[in-house]
């Protein structure tokens, strides 16, 4: 018989059964529990949680202390008492000049890091004057077609003092090369740079669609960037494995954990095959997860994420350094939870999600802005989002103690259940042959689709209430306040590219791209060195990516039914 919280477990179970029979059941008979209780995304929520729901290993094995394995309670001993999370708002639109102005504005308003959004042509490896880019230049992010654009984007911003996160995947090596060279032109060496390249193409095949090459070459390119950064850009996170986009596509919290970690295993295996040791690069694997509306599930999710990752790195990969086992994550509040109806309600949603992320112990955060369901955020919306983070940091007291919700029977039970479901899903993916096989078979896509459809049906039936959408609606729900990208951006970009191609050393560009093609054709040759040489010669994003397309081809997705 175990003792827990000063209670004999059998005594507690007997007392709970008696309470249910004598108190709960008659109460429910008189006052039915309200309809619309749908639980979390992964767990059916019970009426009451007690120590019986948090049974299992002892405190030291499951929770421990912050800054210590298994890191359930946080990756630093003092967490936010020592240093607040990095506050960065996702920004970028139009041409480089406009994005530079927005970056300068956000830094002036107190933002402590930059998060860079790229337009769809850049994400897909096309130049702004490519016919495939028509209608999309500068629309959902900044257009970066050459080193010239990157230099303009960060003009006047000291890159040795500001960390930059780049949401870029298939062309991540090209964009980081441009950033490194732009920094060198400022007099800042690569070893002084800090920031993150997302560089997680596996989730692109199942959630976003901005892939270029098939999975095999994509993993090679990603691993090459990780190896390069481990040697030359030691303060840079060369990959940010993303659960965010899969969650926004519709998966549950448990699926978000499992799919992200299965993808990370695939990347690690490829990097280990290059000859690196796990402790050489694991401390610089970073993450981005999505914070949704179920407040306590999200707190529990971040605790479960840290515990599962620590066990995975220690037990599967034999990591020795504590830093290798620490899951350090950025989060952005849920873009898919924003509503175009009554958009001001999104301010409350983002605030609640942000508080959950803080109580869950994240290291970096951006809030999706209240008008983002309508268009690119306005300056006012980004300022409100940043001020929301600052209010949480300085006014709520949420940052004054470490892991303040630990010990809640519900939070501990949710943490355990999310961990249990994640491990089960990861074993299922492993049995299929790993993440690449799961992607190619459509397993991820089907699971995400099923979860998304289930959620949507709950909204449409009224079982799940979305304020302002299926309840508490008003007449005209939209907003006239919409940010508009200058329609002349595409023409400006085309003019800049024409001038660049007329004035650069085109023989040097051709030679650099020739060497890059030869390296791509050699399975053992490093790629980043030739990409850097091409960037320095002012080869464009499209020219570099097209060179790799010639060797690797383009990915054709499976039909998922």
The pLDDT of residue 1: 33
Q: Which two tokens stand for residue 438?
A: 């799961």
pLDDT tens track for 253-278: 999 999 999 999 999 999 999 999 99
Q: What is the mean pLDDT of residues 22-27?
A: 92
Give the residue ranges of DSSP H helices in 87-171.
96-108, 120-123, 147-153
> Which range among 55-64, 187-196, 495-504 shows the weakest confidence by mean pLDDT?
55-64
Q: Would you say residue 180 has pLDDT above 50? A: yes
Rounded CA separation 90/355 (Å): 18
Confidence at 540, pLDDT banded by 50, 70, 90: very high
The pLDDT of residue 482: 65
Rounded CA separation 197/240 (Å): 6
Q: Report which DSSP code applies to 64.
A: -
22-25's contacts with Cβ under 8 Å and 24+ in sequence apart are 24/48
Rounded CA separation 311/308 (Å): 5
Q: Would you say residue 535 has pLDDT above 60? A: yes
Query: Nearest Cα to 264, choosing from 297, 310, 299, 300?
Result: 310
Q: Are 366 and 330 in contact (CB under 8 A)?
A: yes
Higher per-residue pLDDT: 283 or 28: 283
Rounded CA separation 95/142 (Å): 6
Q: What is the mean pLDDT of residues 551-558?
A: 93
Q: Would you say residue 480 has pLDDT above 60? A: no
Phi, psi of 143 (to 5 degrees): -85, 120
Give the residue ranges of DSSP H helices in 274-405.
278-281, 295-311, 322-325, 345-360, 379-395
Q: What is the mean pLDDT of residues 100-112?
A: 93
Query: Nearest Cα to 157, choosing from 111, 196, 123, 197?
Result: 111
Please name every residue paired with 471 in a beta bridge, in sequence order, or none if there are none. 467
The pLDDT of residue 104: 96
Q: Would you say residue 166 has pLDDT above 70? A: yes
Rounded CA separation 167/123 (Å): 9
| The model's pTM | 0.93
pLDDT tens track for 349-361: 999 999 999 999 9
Q: What is the mean pLDDT of residues 493-506?
A: 97
pLDDT tens track for 54-66: 766 688 889 999 9
Q: What is the mean pLDDT of residues 23-49?
A: 87
The pLDDT of residue 83: 94
The pLDDT of residue 479: 56
Rounded CA separation 245/121 (Å): 19
Q: Would you say residue 22 has pLDDT above 50? A: yes
> Which range among 1-10, 387-396, 500-509 shows the weakest confidence by mean pLDDT?
1-10
For the CA atoms of 428, 432, 433, 435, the dihedral, rounded to the nearest 10 degrees, stands at: -70
The pLDDT of residue 80: 96
Phi, psi of 308 (to 5 degrees): -65, -45
Q: What distance lies between CA 90 and its chain's CA centroid? A: 12
Q: Are 318 and 278 in contact (CB under 8 A)?
A: yes
Q: Are 249 and 207 in contact (CB under 8 A)?
A: yes
> What's the chain's average pLDDT?
94
Q: Would you say residue 139 has pLDDT above 90? A: yes
The pLDDT of residue 69: 97
What percent of the chain lies above the pLDDT cut of 90? 87
Tell me the CA end-to-end span of the chain in Å, nearest whole number: 51
Burial string for 269-281 (b: 16+ CB within 10 Å, else e) reads: ebbeeeebebbbb
The pLDDT of residue 550: 98
Rounded CA separation 456/250 (Å): 9
The pLDDT of residue 48: 92
The pLDDT of residue 544: 98
Rounded to the nearest 10 degrees, the angle between the axes of helix 506-521 and helix 541-552 is 30
Q: How far is CA 274 from CA 125, 228, 515, in A?
A: 26, 11, 21
For the CA atoms of the chain, what is the radius of gyration? 24
Confidence at 335, pLDDT banded by 50, 70, 90: very high
19-24's contacts with Cβ under 8 Å and 24+ in sequence apart are 24/48
- Burial class from Cβ neighbours inside 10 Å (0-12, 13-18, 19+) for residue 517 reads middle
pLDDT tens track for 368-381: 999 999 988 999 99
Rounded CA separation 533/539 (Å): 9
Pairing of strands 364-366, 195-197: unpaired
Phi, psi of 109 (to 5 degrees): -80, 0
Rounded CA separation 502/498 (Å): 6
Pairing of strands 7-8, 86-87: unpaired
Q: How many CA atoms lie within 13 A of 494 on its CB side?
A: 12
- To the question of domain 76-461 being in CATH 2.40.110.10, the answer is no
Q: Would you say residue 542 has pLDDT above 70? A: yes
The pLDDT of residue 56: 64
The pLDDT of residue 549: 98
The pLDDT of residue 2: 45
């Amino acid at each position: 018989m175990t003792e827990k919280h000063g209670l004999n477990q059998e005594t507690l179970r007997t007392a709970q059964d008696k309470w249910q029979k004598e108190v709960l059941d008659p109460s429910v008979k008189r006052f039915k529990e309200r309809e619309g209780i749908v639980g979390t995304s992964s767990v059916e929520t019970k009426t009451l949680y007690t120590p019986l729901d948090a049974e299992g290993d002892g405190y030291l094995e499951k929770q421990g202390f912050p800054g210590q394995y298994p890191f359930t309670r946080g990756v630093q001993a003092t967490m936010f008492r020592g240093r607040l999370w990095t506050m960065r708002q996702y920004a970028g639109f139009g041409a480089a000049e406009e994005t530079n102005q927005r970056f300068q504005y956000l830094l002036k308003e107190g933002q402590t890091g930059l998060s860079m959004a790229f337009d769809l042509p850049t994400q897909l490896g096309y130049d702004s004057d490519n016919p495939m880019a028509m209608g999309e230049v500068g629309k959902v992010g900044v257009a970066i077609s050459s080193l010239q654009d990157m230099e303009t984007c960060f003009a006047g911003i000291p890159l040795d003092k500001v960390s930059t996160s780049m949401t870029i995947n298939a062309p991540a090596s090209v964009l980081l090369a441009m950033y490194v060279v732009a920094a060198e032109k400022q007099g800042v060496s690569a070893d002084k740079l800090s920031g993150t390249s997302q560089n997680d193409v596996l989730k692109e095949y199942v959630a976003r669609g901005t892939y270029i090459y098939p999975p095999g070459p994509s993993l090679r390119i990603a691993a090459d960037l990780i190896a390069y950064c481990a040697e030359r850009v030691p303060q840079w996170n060369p990959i940010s494995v993303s659960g965010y986009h899969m969650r926004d596509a519709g998966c549950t919290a448990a699926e978000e954990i499992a799919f992200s970690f299965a993808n990370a295993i695939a990347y690690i295996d490829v990097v280990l095959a290059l000859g690196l040791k796990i402790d050489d690069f694991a401390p610089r694997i970073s993450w981005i997860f999505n914070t949704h509306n179920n407040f306590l599930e999200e707190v529990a999710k971040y605790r479960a994420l840290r515990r599962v990752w620590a066990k995975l790195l220690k037990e599967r990969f034999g990591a020795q350094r504590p830093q290798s086992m620490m899951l350090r994550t950025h989060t952005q509040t849920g873009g898919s939870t924003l509503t175009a109806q009554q958009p001001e309600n999104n301010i409350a949603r983002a605030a609640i999600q942000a508080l959950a992320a803080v109580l869950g112990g994240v290291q970096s955060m951006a809030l999706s802005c209240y008008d983002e369901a309508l268009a690119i955020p306005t300056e006012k919306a980004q300022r409100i989002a940043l001020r929301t983070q600052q209010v949480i940091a300085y006014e709520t007291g949420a940052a004054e103690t470490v892991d303040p919700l630990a010990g809640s029977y519900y939070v501990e039970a949710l943490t355990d259940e999310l961990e249990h479901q994640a491990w089960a899903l990861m074993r299922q993916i492993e049995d299929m042959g790993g993440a690449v096989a799961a992607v190619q078979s459509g397993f991820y896509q089907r699971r995400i689709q099923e979860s998304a459809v289930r959620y949507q049906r709950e909204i449409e039936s009224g079982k799940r209430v979305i304020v302002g959408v299926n309840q508490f609606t008003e007449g005209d729900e939209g907003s006239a306040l919409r940010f508009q990208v200058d329609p002349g951006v595409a023409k400006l970009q085309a003019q800049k590219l024409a001038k660049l191609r007329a004035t650069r050393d085109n023989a040097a560009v051709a030679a650099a791209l020739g060497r890059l093609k030869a390296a791509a054709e050699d399975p053992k040759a490093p790629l980043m060195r030739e990409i850097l040489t091409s960037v320095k010669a002012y080869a464009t994003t499209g020219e570099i990516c097209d060179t790799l397309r010639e060797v690797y081809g383009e990915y054709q997705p499976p039909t998922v039914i």
